[in-house]
C-alpha cells in the first residue's frame, strides 16, 4: 500500500479517489471515521488519507490524476498561490487549498 494523497479537506480527497477509481485502480481510505474523535488528536492525524492498495498501481494512479487534470484544462483554473492546475469542480486548490479566484 502506498499513500497517494491526503488533505485536511475531505472533499478533495474524495475527488482524487474518484479519479483514481475511474482508472480501475483499487484504493482505500484511512481516517475516514476519525473526525468523531478529533478532540483527542492532533488535527493532522485526522486528515483523510487516500492509499493505493497495490504499489504497482501507484504510477498509473498518478498518471490518472495528471490526465484528469489535463482534460480539465479548458474549464479548469490555475492556483494563484502555487500555480497548480485545478479541475473546474474544485472550489479550492487541491494542493494548497487556496480559494479559487473569481
Ligand atoms: Zn494551490
The answer to whether residue 37 scores a pLDDT higher than 90 is: no
pLDDT of residue 32: 85
| Averaged pLDDT for residues 24-42 | 76
Distance 42 CA to ligand 1 centre (A): 24
Intervals of CATH 2.20.28 along the chain: 76-102
What pLDDT, in 10s, does the model give residues 39-93? 565 555 688 999 999 999 999 999 999 888 777 666 788 999 999 988 888 899 9
Q: Reduced to 3 states, what is the DSSP secondary structure of residue 49?
A: strand
DSSP one-letter code for 101: P
pTM of the predicted model, to two decimals?
A: 0.65
Residue 96 binned pLDDT confidence (cut-offs 50, 70, 90): very high
Q: What are the residues whose beta carbons fall under 8 Å from the beta carbon of 39, sequence distance 6 or more?
A: none
Q: Report the alpha-carbon distance of residue 58 to residue 16 in Å, rounded.
A: 13
Distance 81 CA to ligand 1 centre (A): 5
Q: Dihedral through CA 14, CA 20, CA 24, CA 29, nearest 10?
A: -50
Domain 76-102 CATH assignment equals 2.20.28 = yes
Amino acid at each position: 500500500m502506498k499513500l497517494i494523497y491526503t488533505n485536511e479537506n475531505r472533499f478533495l480527497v474524495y475527488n482524487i479517489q474518484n479519479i483514481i477509481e475511474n482508472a480501475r485502480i483499487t484504493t482505500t481510505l484511512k481516517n475516514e471515521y476519525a473526525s468523531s474523535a478529533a478532540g483527542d488528536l492532533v488535527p493532522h492525524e485526522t486528515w483523510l488519507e487516500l492509499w493505493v492498495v497495490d504499489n504497482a498501481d501507484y504510477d498509473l494512479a498518478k498518471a490518472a490524476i495528471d490526465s484528469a487534470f489535463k482534460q480539465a484544462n479548458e474549464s479548469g483554473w490555475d492556483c494563484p498561490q502555487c500555480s497548480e492546475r485545478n479541475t473546474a469542480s474544485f472550489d479550492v486548490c487541491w494542493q494548497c487549498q487556496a480559494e479559487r479566484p473569481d
